[in-house]
Structure 1
Amino acid sequence: MTPPLVVDIDGTLTGPDRGLDPRTMPILKEWDAPVVVATGKAFPYPVGLCEFLAIPIRVIAENGGVVYVAETETVVFTGEPEAAQAVAEEFQAAGYDLGWGRADMVNRWRETEIAVNLDAPLEPLEALAADHGLEVVDTGFAYHVKSPAQNKGKGLKAVARELGRDPEEFVAVGDSENDVSTFEVAGRAIAVANADDRALAAADEVTEGEYGEGFLEAVDLIEGGLEG
């Protein structure tokens, strides 16, 4: 029986240019079990991905800060957005920049955390986050200032509960530090070859291929287990 799938976007379904690998689209669309998109991106991004793939909207966004499950029309928010916004304001008041330009399309629709460009200095950001009881997670694409209680693994537990599933039924595929909590909750964890050290260490298996190519290989591993 095909297991439910929880999959990251950036670095997993994409190429190194962050563009979605088109070969991943039919796989997600035709997967014969629930597919959950789990990302550090703001809430509208995974929702839009599901919409354009014409698959049910099951998403874990903002590193677990927002969860939505189409079957029960349930939206779950976690995190401390006021504290995260305070960190951003204090960081800027200290003379630093979030790094996304005037429009800040990265944070414009973000509801539970703040993302900061990797070119920004990490040490003062971490110090301000700690002052507000928050943490900074490096996803490889941005620094995310968020509540320690907010992670993709807890998001997966919430999704599984809404679907009447056990989280251990899921296979997780990802590439980053923020996927570690998902790997720990899912029954099987596969990291693509470009994953960071923490994700590689937490995974049960690692593909030879990177990015979208690695996801295709992960699908072969999953399907190979079904045939066995």
Structure 2
Amino acid sequence: MMDAPPLAVDVDGTLTDGQGAIDHRVLPVLREWPAPVVVATGKSMPYPIALCQFAGIEGRVIAENGGVVAVADTDTLRFEGDRAAAQAVADAYVEAGYSLGWREIDFVNRWRETEIAVAREQPLAPLESIAAERGLEVVDTGYAYHVKSPDVSKGQGLEVVADELGLDPAAFLAVGDSENDVSTFEVAGEAVAVANADDAALAAADRVTDDAYADGFFEAIGVDPIR
């Protein structure tokens, strides 16, 4: 384990069980990993920061699909993307008769700084059309539709984190499950998709695990967790 690479890991679908909850076995594994761990997710920053806190690791986070990058080691906090433009897309979508699909107290978007997320149960085509008219894109993470700037990605976020840590992005092992992990896979030296990954992630990965969700994560990093 002393030769373990730095790790860039997605959350939903990768550190979770099949029901969307964090698999409790990942917490000691992340804490004991002997190289830097970067948590890369489509969620807003409070969620991965909390995960780092409760796992007992440094707050090295790529949130909002690369829109937010935080590196506690160097007191770095960066925001990329255009939250106002994403909100304008959401407003136009609602004005056209659609819904973002969340409850009135929208915890999904409440703390977002650079993008807007829409529930996957909502119509995608009009959302994509409205976003494209405003120069934005929609990324399907398998858990939500994210309206974001096209020049922002998790991969670019990993390049920022690696630079802050004095590491080569190619030194990283990246593990993920979704379209939004493809850019991370392209930047990292080794990319592993868990078995439940979508087609884009499967195609971009260097290898695919036999196991799904958190079990796939453990397989990807070569760890047999305590059950």
User: Where on the TM-score scale, by shorter chain, does this alignment land: which range?
Assistant: over 0.9
Structure 1 distance, partners of 2:113, 2:133, is: 20
CA drift of 1:83 comes to 0.5
Match of 1:43 in 2: 45
Match of 1:174 in 2: 176
SS at match of 2:39: strand
| Percent of residue pairs bearing the same amino acid type | 65
Q: Which runs of 5+ in 1 are unaligned?
A: 222-228
Q: 1:127 aligns with which of 120, 126, 129?
A: 129
1:202 aligns with 2:204: yes
1:96 aligns with 2:98: yes
Which amino acid in 1 is paired with 2:168?
A: D
Aligned alpha-carbon RMSD (Å): 0.7
Normalising by structure 2, what TM-score? 0.96
Q: Superposed, which structure 2 residues align to 1:15-164 within 5 Å? A: 15-164=17-166
Normalising by structure 1, what TM-score? 0.96
Structure 2 distance, partners of 1:189, 1:98, is: 32
Runs of at least 4 residues of structure 1 off by over 3 A? none
CA drift of 1:23 comes to 1.3
CA drift of 1:71 comes to 0.9
Match of 1:193 in 2: 195
Structure 1 distance, partners of 2:24, 2:57, is: 15
Deviations 1:34-84 (A, max 9, x none): 000000001110001001111100000000000000111001110111100
Structure 2 distance, partners of 1:217, 1:21, is: 14
CA drift of 1:2 comes to 1.5
Q: Which runs of 5+ in 2 are unaligned?
A: none
The aligned length equals 221
Structure 1 distance, partners of 2:91, 2:29, is: 42
